[in-house]
Amino acid sequence: MAGSNNGSTGRSSYEQIGKRIQRLVSAPNVQKTQWVIVVRRDDEPLDSWNVVLQEIEETEGIEIDRQPDGSIRIGWQRYIDN
């Protein structure tokens, strides 16, 4: 993930969001279902959040579904096939 050009605060926010999503995706129960629901936290800048989501969305084999409540469902492999 390349990150945003918002200086050190933007970069660290970008990295923190990416690491948080990575931890969620790595959870054993999530690996079994091959999808996870993620919600932006109030302390996460919208621009950094959008950059992370855009880069995830551009990854082959990953699908992002924006939910009506503002959450994001990230799915891969079997989830996409069903």
The range of the structural domain enclosing residue 19 comes to 7-81
- Report the alpha-carbon distance of residue 34 to residue 26 in Å, rounded: 10
Say what the pTM is: 0.78
Whether residue 1 lies inside any domain: the answer is: no
Return the ∠ at Cα 51 (arms to 76 and 29), rounded to 5°: 30
* Residue the block writes with tokens 């931890």: 23
The whole-number pLDDT of residue 6 equals: 45
Residue 2 forms part of a structural domain: no
Tokens 């993930």 found at = 1
Q: Judge whether 51 lies within some domain.
A: yes
Q: For the chain, what is the domain count?
A: 1
List the chain pLDDT tens, one digit each, 82 residues: 444 444 456 679 999 999 999 999 999 999 999 999 999 999 999 999 999 999 999 999 999 999 999 999 999 976 555 5
Cβ-Cβ contacts under 8 Å for 58 (sequence gap 6 or more): none
Residues 6+ apart with CB under 8 A from 30: 24, 36
